[in-house]
Amino acid sequence: MTADYGTRLPANVTIPDDTEFEMLIDAFLSRYGTSTRNEYGRDIAMFRQWCETHADGVHPFHARRMTIEAYVRYLSDERGNAARSVNRRLISLRQFFEYALDDDYVMKNPCRNVRMARPKLDLSKKVHLNREETQRFLRAAYDSSPSDYAMCTLMAYLGMRVSEVCELNVPDVLQYSKGHRVVTFVGKNGDPATLPQAPVIMRALDTVIESLEDKQGPLFIRRDGTRMTRRSADRVVKRIANKAAINDMVVSPHTLRHGAIANAIDAGIPLREVQLAARHRDISTTIRIYDRGRLNLDTHASHGLAAYLGSVA
């Protein structure tokens, strides 16, 4: 997969100079939140580097579908990226080319009909903490520090993503709506979100806020006084998981979000309500990943079926 994928250039496409191209990328990225902006920026930079080294220096705006398909094979076969990572990077490029298409930089989106990779869902793999493990984890977080505990409750009870938690400012958790104190923030894909605070969350957040000098600044800060980052939050979660003696899986912030969704299903909350709480646009995501992947053998349908059919012995 070398120059052959990029040398047959489409006609009537004017390549912008480096300055204009950088401005276009900046304008595209400015539409997104910090986390998505950083990820999309890295994805575009990676594709540009691949074009330079693997496609004979072809400009991204001269890429064709075969170019993108070669890049997808490179991500999967040579870099060893998982299907979900490949798809996320492909979506980044697809969004960028749509943006460029609107401004007449390309004649069509070369990513439009590229087949997405199919992630393999391993139902035997443990992907979240169960009720007892979550309680043990939160106990360890409580013993660690008020800030660690409050940060973990937002992910374990509300299912917030780690980037959403890190970007919170104090006023974001002191809003009220319809009689509830709520957390307000901008979530994935720039969608505004409002989540109610249960009493356990309110108490945890109030303890943190009381200790902060700046009541308008970041809600969670690191030891050096700067805003908490995703990487720092990941280290906090792993340290707490170690204290809680959870050793049979790698615990990350997303593990807590996953657990919030799966444990809500185990608690008997209707799937539609769980979907809304998880902020999934399609309920199939809730069912396919979180419901099927929770491996709750206690409530397996075979128990009810065995009771219904009875036994011959």
Domains and CATH numbers, the chain: 3-102 (1.10.150), 131-299 (1.10.443.10)
pLDDT at 302 over 50: yes
Q: Is the CA virtual torsion 156, 157, 160, 166 positive or negative? A: negative
Q: What is the pLDDT of residue 277?
A: 83
Q: What is the reported pTM? A: 0.64
Residues contacting 116, CB < 8 A, separation 6+: 87, 90
Question: Residues 208-244: pLDDT tens digits?
Answer: 999 999 999 999 999 999 999 999 999 999 999 999 9
| Residue 144 token pair | 């660690």
Which residue do the tokens 């690191």 mark? 222
Rg (CA), the chain: 23
Q: Locate all alpha helices (DSSP H) within 81-229, ordered by sequence.
A: 83-102, 131-144, 146-158, 162-166, 199-211
pLDDT of residue 52: 92
Distance of CA 266 to the CA centre of its chain: 22
d(CA 96, CA 34) in angstroms, rounded, equals 16
pLDDT value at residue 50: 95
Kindly state the percentage of the chain with pLDDT values over 70: 85
Region 284-303: mean pLDDT is 60
**Listed range (82-91, 152-161, 223-232, 261-270) with the worst mean pLDDT:** 261-270
